[in-house]
Amino acid sequence: MTDREDAVAVQGDWELLRRDVNMLGSLLGEVLREQGGELLFATVEGARLAARRRRKGDPPAAAELAEILEGLDAGRAAEVVRAFSAYFALVNMGERVHRIRRRRAYLKTGKPQPGSLEAVLAGLAERGTALDRVREVLSRLRVEPVFTAHPTEAVRRTILAKEQRIARLLIDRMEKTGRTPQEDEILAARLREEVTTLWQTAEHPGTGRTVGDEVEHVLFYLTDVLYRVAPVLEESVDRAMASVYCTVRSREISRPILSFASWVGGDMDGNPNVGPETILATLARHRELILTRYADEVRELFQHLSQSTSRVGVDPEVLDRCRRYAEAAPEVDRRIPVRHRDMPYRMLLWHMWERLDSARNGAGEVPPYRSAEELADDLAIIAASLEHNAGHNAGLFRVRRLERRLAIFGFHLATLDIRQDASVHRRTAAAILGDPAFPELPRAARTERLREALEAGEMGERGALDDEAERTLGVFQAVVRAREELGEGAIGPYIISMAQGADDALAVLLLARRAGLTDAAGQVPLDVAPLFETVPDLARAGETLAGLLNEPLYRSHVRSRGDRQIVMLGYSDSSKESGIAASRWALYRAEGELTHAAGKAGVDLTLFHGRGGTVSRGGSKPRAGILAEPPGAVRGRLRVTEQGEIIHAKYGLRGIALRTLELTTGAVLEATLRDPDEAVVPAEWVTVMDTVAGASRAAYRGLVYENELFFRYFREATPIDVIERLRIGSRPPVRRRTGRIEDLRAIPWVFSWVQNRHLLPGWLGLGTGLAAGLAEHGEEVFRAMAARWPFFANLLADVEMVLAKADLEIGARYAGLAGEAGGVIFPKITAEYDRTRELILRLRGTTELLEREPVLRRSIRLRNPYVDTISLLQVDLLRRWRAGGREDAALERVLKSTVRGIARGMQNTG
């Protein structure tokens, strides 16, 4: 496609999206009139039009907008905010549906969509990558999204289901072919019904969120979306291989590429509400839901596989299995209607459903399936019989799809990771060892003491532990029970937050042994994963891992785990501590050093990326972020967190979820098979980035941590005081209430800066870093880096997007809330923003932000006037609420609504 054709296609795409957005906006206007009355509609419409004119530079419009918004009573303000928030929900849905439209358009043309598996494989083939090499990598390719909770995400499951139905109606509306006018009318009525009931449903529960609520939120995506699309991704590998490499359409992969994991219910770090009870309850809920899905699908197979022995042959293994089940459960067999007696697949499936039901309920007339492998064995017999007896177009595909689901989800649905802070393990080890001074010993001394205890089998006195130690050991006892009842796949790695040395890993082994978590060989059957989070810890990560793998006791443990080691990298805390440029560079270097240390020790390393949703917390476009990894870091595997704030955007619709998985899988395949010569990073570039990161970190910390007025500015120029009162997360927003930025969690930190439109954590310091690098190394090397180094190009692109979303004109209104601190700090922020913007445009060779991404640029411009309205209202409400001593409950409720509305409009929280 030529540049002109591409531009025309983009314009056409935009017109289709604009038409959808206008339709949804008009529909919402009708609902507002009907449900809220003419006064509400007039207020919202007046604010909307004034905000748009203000954005176009109409001077009177700003005063008109202020006149509409300032002084609104709490009740009217709440309805106005709800109206704009509802608009954003519909626009967000419209944009996601538009992405599905674009995907369908590619499929209709027969051309592979950029980033698709077919496009990736075509690129590999063009570069001469041999079929055997591709097959070898596919055989070990692993992609594992890990879902987390989110302190600012509290959308009801009811709302999620309504939004899914709205999306499906919009998709139906896209396909006009063959619909009658009456059918169009019915579709429009159904759409209006969903939007109206959405308006009439409270978005958020009035009570605080429990861990159970957060579990259900994540399970919605696993059971309602990913259960459906995961096997489709696996099947698309076959299609892409057949298309590009002309392979026979078969199961190209011997085991699944995809698996899923969750932190929700197992993440204890800073959350007193998570412990042994939530771990077991969460795993039981996982098992209940996935067994229900399998039972439903077996019922569907029962309806479809009606083959009669008088019409088609059946393998003797099927008949033999039916006989065995009849002998084991004669009462069940007698209940099968006589009309099904010559339908052996139905006979077998009836018994299979009964076994699933027994497994789901814990009791029944037949022995339950004890493992996914037992169910897989029954399905394999049916699949083989269909394959041998003319069943390729008579049900085999359905059975194969269920087999794929079973291989992906097992009987546990999603692996549950466990996470706890290293300091908790140290205190518990101290209690076990009877040595209160243990946590304060030097690291080497702690390592030696733990080594002695493990070698001697020193487990401490029973019953001599405090509450924290008992609860911590209870977690390991819960793991023992989970493995016994649910299988090894139910439990993922045990992640050690703020890990700093070998002692932190040995402490986990001590606790596990004390709790009885050992196998027949006396080893701990648990992957222990240190998490490196701060820039100093990342700088030492390679050395730390090397020391850990040189520790004989731990090396023996790793050998028992198949010589595999997981290391987690934290993006959020390193960015909050040192700024985005220093954080990204520290992570990049750490990955290379960790890969080298593991390779030297003969250990197979999996890097687990703890990315957040926003750029400042490691968020990036899936494909670009993976291809920006250092050479050798991917190696066919990706384990990455999917934060609660972005799960809906990436996995809320089946078409979007499939595209997310496809982009991720294709990028992992491409990064693994990348030409080694292309991946080499010149030493000069490394030196340049050292300069950029160092100067950037100094500028960031100089303002955030070393300027005495900054903390006051943060407290007064952002709605952090409102965010702290949002009763929607099960985890507290601060680690310790010391009144320091260091003790605020990364998510509310970032969320606050999104709210006041600064988006400061996503760019602060980079401008100074680039300026220092340019002064020392010259512009030519930077242009080469931007053109040929995916890491650097991705950093610039990510920050450019953040700069485009930020709006310091609106930000100035928030700065006005901070008095003296605002007068000092805001000019410094503005100067750094301008510097960063100027240098990014210069290095990328463009004249305006997002010049190369016109669709995203237009999307931001479309939203800005409406976000402005809520932002300006929020500033007014903050001023009034704070002036009243923060005691007006009605104003506080509206402020909480403004926080959620701005988050929806910006499509960013924390």
Q: What pLDDT, on a 0 to 100 scale, did the predictor assign at position 3?
A: 40
Instruction: Quote the pTM value.
Output: 0.92
Residue 569 main-chain phi, psi, to 5 deg: -115, 130
Expressed in angstroms, the distance from the first to the final Cα of the chain is 38
3-state class (DSSP) for residue 258: strand
d(CA 663, CA 667): 6
Q: How confident is the model at residue 110 (pLDDT cuts 50, 70, 90)?
A: confident
Average pLDDT over residues 751-756: 95
Span 53-75, average pLDDT: 91
Query: In angstroms, what CA-CA distances link 445 with 329, 441, 450, 854?
Result: 61, 6, 9, 58
pLDDT in tens, 634-666: 999 999 999 887 898 899 899 999 999 999 999
The whole-number pLDDT of residue 460 equals 67
Going from the C-alpha of 28 to that of each of 170, 197, 533, the distances in angstroms are 14, 12, 44
Q: Averaged over 716-730, what is the pLDDT?
A: 83
pLDDT of residue 304: 97
Q: Hey, which residues does 681 pair with through a beta bridge?
A: none
pLDDT confidence of residue 4: 39
Banded pLDDT at 462 (limits 50, 70, 90): low
Distance between CA 257 and CA 251 in Å, rounded? 12
Token digits for 106?
A: 């590619």
790-808 residue pLDDT tens: 999 999 999 999 999 999 9
d(CA 771, CA 398): 59
Instruction: Dump pLDDT digits (tens) for 137-151.
Output: 999 999 999 999 865
Instruction: Check if the beta carbon of residue 336 is closer than 8 Å to that of residue 350.
Output: yes
Assess whether pLDDT exceeds 60 at residue 6.
Answer: no
Q: Which domains does the chain have, with CATH numbers?
A: 113-153+234-258+623-680 (no CATH), 279-409 (1.20.1440.90), 415-622 (no CATH), 683-852 (no CATH)
pLDDT digits 0-9 by tens, 572-611: 889 999 999 999 999 999 999 999 999 999 999 999 999 8
Q: Is 425 a catalytic residue?
A: no
Question: What's the pLDDT at 153?
Answer: 54
Per-residue pLDDT of 17-35, as tens digits, reads 888 889 999 999 999 999 9
Task: Report helix, strand or coil for 419.
Answer: strand
Place of tokens 């006791």: 553
CA-CA distance, 375 to 411, in Å (whole number)?
10
Which whole number is the average pLDDT over 455-465? 75
Given a contact cutoff of 8 angstroms between Cβ atoms, the answer to whether 270 and 277 are in contact is no
Among 576, 650, 758, 896, which one carries the catalytic annotation?
A: 576
543: number of CA atoms within 13 Å, CB side?
6
Res. 461: pLDDT tops 70: no
At 255, is the pLDDT very low, low, confident or very high (cuts 50, 70, 90)? confident
Give Cβ neighbours of residue 330 (< 8 Å, ≥ 6 apart). Answer: none
Q: Which residue has the tokens 């390679």?
A: 542
Residue 248: the pLDDT is 65
Strand, coil or helix: 852: coil
Confidence of residue 365 (pLDDT cuts 50, 70, 90): confident
Instruction: Note the pLDDT of residue 1.
Output: 37
- Model pLDDT, residue 806: 96
Q: How far apart are CA 366 and CA 351, in angstroms?
A: 8
**What is the CB neighbour count within 10 angstroms for residue 680?**
9
- 759-788: pLDDT as tens digits: 999 999 999 999 999 999 999 999 999 999
Q: Render pLDDT for 504-544 as a digit per residue (tens, 0 to 9).
A: 999 999 999 999 999 988 999 999 999 999 999 999 999 99
Residue 746: pLDDT over 90? no
pLDDT of residue 5: 36
Spell out the residues 6+ positions from residue 465 whose beta carbon is closer than 8 angstroms to its own.
428, 431, 432, 473
Interstrand relation of 491-497 and 415-421 (parallel, antiparallel or unpaired): parallel
Tokens matching residue 574: 């390193």
Half-sphere exposure of 533 (CA within 13 A, CB side): 19
Lowest mean pLDDT among 1-5, 176-180, 235-239, 906-910: 1-5
Could you tell me which residue, 6 or 231, shows the higher pLDDT?
231
Q: What is the pLDDT of residue 728?
A: 53
Strand (E) positions, 220-321? Answer: 261-262
Residues whose CB is less than 8 angstroms from the CB of residue 184 and which lie 6 or more positions away in sequence, other chains included: none
pLDDT at 319 over 90: yes
Weakest mean pLDDT among 127-136, 686-695, 739-748, 883-892: 739-748
* Amino acid letter, residue 601: A
pLDDT tens digits for 148-182?
A: 986 555 566 788 788 889 988 988 887 766 788 89
Q: What is the dihedral of CA 619, 621, 622, 623, to 10 degrees?
A: -140
pLDDT at residue 458, as a whole number? 77
pLDDT > 70? residue 9? no
Any idea what the Cα angle at residue 773 is, between residues 596 and 539, rounded to 5°? 30
pLDDT given for residue 872 in this prediction: 96
- Model pLDDT for residues 206-224, shown as the tens digit of each residue: 666 788 888 998 999 999 9
Catalytic residue, candidates 98, 150, 650, 896: 150
pLDDT at 735 over 90: no
Average pLDDT in the 364-378 region? Answer: 93
Mean pLDDT over the full length of the chain: 91
Which range is least confidently modeled, 86-95, 202-211, 544-553, 713-722?
202-211
What is the predicted pLDDT for the residue at 76? 94
Q: Is the pLDDT confidence value at 10 over 50?
A: no
Q: Report, as an integer, the average pLDDT of 451-456.
A: 92
Encode 72-107 in three state secondary structure.
CCHHHHHHHHHHHHHHHHHHHHHHHHHHHHHHHHHH
| pLDDT at residue 15 in the model | 81
162 counts as catalytic: no
pLDDT value at position 637? Answer: 95
Burial class (CB in 10 A: 0-12, 13-18, 19+), 345: buried
The CA distance from 792 to 592, in Å, is 16
